[in-house]
Amino acid sequence: MNKQYYGYFLASLIGLSSVSFYANSTQKSEDTGISVTAVNQLTESEVRQGWRLLFDGQTTKGWHVYQKPDAASAWQAKDGTLSVDMKTSGVQHGDLATDQEFENYELKFDWKTTSDGNSGVFINVKEKAEYLMAWQTGPEYQLLGQEHIDYAKVSKRSGCLYGYSPQLTETSVRQPGDWNQSVIKQVNGVVEFYLNGNLTASVDLHSEQWQQWVSQSNFKDFPEFGIATRGKIVLQEWSSPVSFRNIKIREL
């Protein structure tokens, strides 16, 4: 093989390898449903559709510790993620609430926790002095590692409306360290939860079925639990580390 031909041959191989690499990378992104190149950013299409970021990837702007709006928070924006540092001292620990209330919307977010992690996202939370915890008014999108003791309770797995019913579509969380993608939709009190592309929970907060369940649940002693269809979105600090990114919302 002469040198000139060898050079053409080598260049062709490199070109084919590059095409194969980027094709595989694109496929991986499609398989996970999570963009690997546009973290905490909006595409032009998303902007046209009315999406906006709730987390800018760099600060906690737009968020505050539940019931402590002026306190320095244990939640930190670092390396493009919004995480809670449970070991930090000299700051206010607690759930993290949006400054704004929302009613009819679609919310998307990526999250990850440890294999035995336990956290959640509350919706329709009312920040009133008489309620010390967000869960006393807001239903919870459960986030749970598969090695947590509560995993044996099928109505408390990730993607469930906590305690209400098992996943509508059985869906596993990804390996610890890998990002999961979740969606919450609410329109006129009808709520849907999605986990990694699958519908996992659905409820009409105006329905007799929901009201009856609440009346027989551990939330029955909290008169405003699950009543509101407008309120704040709250990230839970509970018993284990949890991280979020790509938190975006569009109002419907």
Confidence bin at 7 (pLDDT 50/70/90): very low
- Who wins on pLDDT, 143 or 4? 143
**DSSP conformation letters of the chain:** --HHHHHHHHHHHHHHHHHHHHHHHHHHHHHHTS-SS-TT---HHHHHHT-EES--SS--TTEEETTBTTSPBSEEEETTEEEE-TT--SSB-S-EEEEEEESSEEEEEEEEE-TT-EEEEEEEE---TT--SGGGTS-EEEEE-TTSGGGGSGGGSTTSBTTT---SS--PPPPTTSPEEEEEEEETTEEEEEETTEEEEEEETTSHHHHHHHHTSTTTT-TTTTT-SSEEEEEPP-SS-EEEEEEEEEE-
Higher pLDDT, 29 or 96: 96
Q: Among residues of the chain, what percentage have pLDDT more than 70?
A: 85
Output the pLDDT for position 14. Answer: 38
**22 pLDDT higher than 50:** no
| Tens-place pLDDT, residues 60-82 | 999 999 999 999 999 999 999 99
Residue-averaged pLDDT of the chain: 88
* pLDDT above 80 (res 23): no
User: What is the per-residue pLDDT across 31-45, written as a single tens digit (0 to 9) for each?
Assistant: 444 444 589 999 999
pLDDT beyond 70 at 50 = yes
